[in-house]
Amino acid sequence: MGRTVHSEVTKGAVTTDIDMTYDALKAMKKETGKHLPVIAITANALKKETDRRLSKGIDAILHKPVIINDLYKILTHWLPKDDRKRLSKEVG
C-alpha cells in the first residue's frame, strides 16, 4: 500500500490524514503494546462520516481548517499525563 509503519513509536498519540489505512493504524498500536490514540484530520465535516470513522478505531477527528485551540483540547484529552504537562509548558 506504499505506507510504512515506523519501527519505533515514542510519542503519546498519532496525528494523521483520515484516509490512512486502518491496517497501518492497527500495526502502530500493535508495535507499542498499548492503545495509541489516533487523531485524524479531514476536510469532511459530515456527522455520518465522522461517526463511521470513530467507530473504526480513530479516537478523535479535527476538521480543516484546524483551529489551534481545538487541537490543544484534543491533545490534552488523549496524551499521557507527562506529555500533557510538557505540552502545557510549551504552550504557556
Per-residue pLDDT of 21-34, as tens digits, reads 677 777 777 777 77
Give the three-class secondary structure for 48: helix
| Bridge-based pairing state of the strands 38-42 and 60-63 | parallel
The C-alpha atoms of residue 63 and residue 57 are separated, in whole angstroms, by: 17
Count of the separate structural domains present in the chain: 1
Would residue 5 count as lying in a domain?
no
Residue ranges making up the domain that contains 65? 14-84
**Which of the four pLDDT bands, split at 50, 70 and 90, describes residue 92?**
low
In a domain, 23, yes or no: yes
The CATH number of residue 30's host domain is 3.40.50.2300
Q: Residue 6: inside a domain, yes or no?
A: no
Q: Is the pLDDT of residue 7 over 60?
A: no
Q: Decide if 73 is inside a domain.
A: yes
Residue 2 in this model has a pLDDT that exceeds 60:
no
Task: Tell me what pLDDT residue 5 has.
Answer: 42
Q: Say if CB 83 and CB 11 are below 8 A apart.
A: yes
